[in-house]
Amino acid sequence: MNTSTHVSRSAFNKEHPAKMAMAMLLFASQGGAHLVDLRLKDKVILVTGGAKGIGAAIARAIAEEGAIPVIIDRDQDAAEKLHEDLRQCHGYSYLVVAELNTAEACFAAVEQTVKKLGRIDALVNNAGVNDSVGLEKGSPDQFVASLRRNLLHYYNMAHYALPHLKHTAGPLSASVRRQRSPAKEGLLAMWLQRARSSP
C-alpha cells in the first residue's frame, strides 16, 4: 500500500462525520484504488456534478466500495452513460438529471432520492465550473455570478440533505479540484477547517 494515500479506517467512524468527510476527499482525490473496506456497502451517496471528471471518478470509486452512487448532473447524456456503466459493473446506481441553480431544484433532487432510495448516507458537493474569476480577472458582478454557479447550491444541497444525514449520521464533503474558483476555494477551506477541528 502506498502510505501517502492511506486513510485510517477510524476516520470513517460514524462518531466523527467531519473527519469522515475529509477522509472521503482524500479517498476520491487519490482515485480510491489504495483503500479497502471503507464500510460503504449499500450506503446512498449523492454526488453533484457526478457525470464527468472528478465527480464521475468519485461515483466510480464509491461504487467499487459497494455504495450506491446517486449521480446528480445537468448533462443527461453523460449522466446516463455513467449510470449504465455503473449498473453493469457494480449492480446499482441512481440518476437525477438536474440543473442545481435554484433552491427548489436542490430540494427536488434530495427529495427524489429519498423517495426512491429511502435514505441519504453522504453528500459529495462537486458541481461547479472553474471560471477563474478573481480580483484581477473579473468584476463584482462576475464574482457574484461565480458564487451563484459554484457556492449557493453547495449550501442548498447541504441544507435539504441535512435532516436525512442527521438520521444516518452521514458526512458532508466538498470535492478536490486542481483548479478552483475563488468561491470553491473558500468553501473547501471551510469544510477542511471543520474536519480538522472535529474531536
Tens of pLDDT along 92-138? 899 999 999 999 999 999 999 999 999 999 999 999 888 888 888 88
Average pLDDT over residues 13-33: 48
Within a domain: 5: no
Q: 48-66, pLDDT tens digit by residue?
A: 999 999 899 999 999 988 9
| 74, part of any domain | yes
Identify the pLDDT of residue 188: 53
Q: What pLDDT, in 10s, does the model give residues 61-95? A: 999 889 999 999 999 999 999 999 999 888 789 99
Residue 4 included in any domain:
no
Alpha-carbon distance 121 to 167, whole Å? 9
Amino acid letter at 32? G
Any idea what DSSP says for residue 3? G
- Structural domain contains residue 44: yes
Work out the pLDDT band at 33, boundaries 50, 70, 90. very low
In a domain, 135, yes or no: yes
| Residue 84's CATH number | 3.40.50.720
Domain that holds residue 155: 13-197
Cell numbers representing residue 110 in the block = 434530495
Q: How many domains does the chain have?
A: 1
Entry pTM: 0.72
Q: Is residue 67 a contact partner of residue 24, using CB atoms and an 8 Å limit?
A: no
Mean pLDDT within 11-26: 46
The predicted model gives 158-179 an average pLDDT of 75
20 in any annotated domain: yes
Residue 69 counted as domain residue:
yes
The DSSP code sequence of 71-108 is EEES-HHHHHHHHHHHHHHHS--EEEE----SHHHHHH
List of long-range contacts for 4-10, beta carbons under 8 Å, 24+ apart = 5/30, 5/34, 5/35, 6/34, 6/35, 7/35, 9/37, 9/38, 9/39
Asked whether the CA dihedral 159, 160, 164, 170 is positive or negative, the reply is negative
Confidence band, pLDDT 50/70/90 cuts, at residue 47: very high
- What is the rounded CA–CA span in Å between residue 47 and residue 72? 6
Asked if the structure places residue 3 within a domain, the reply is no
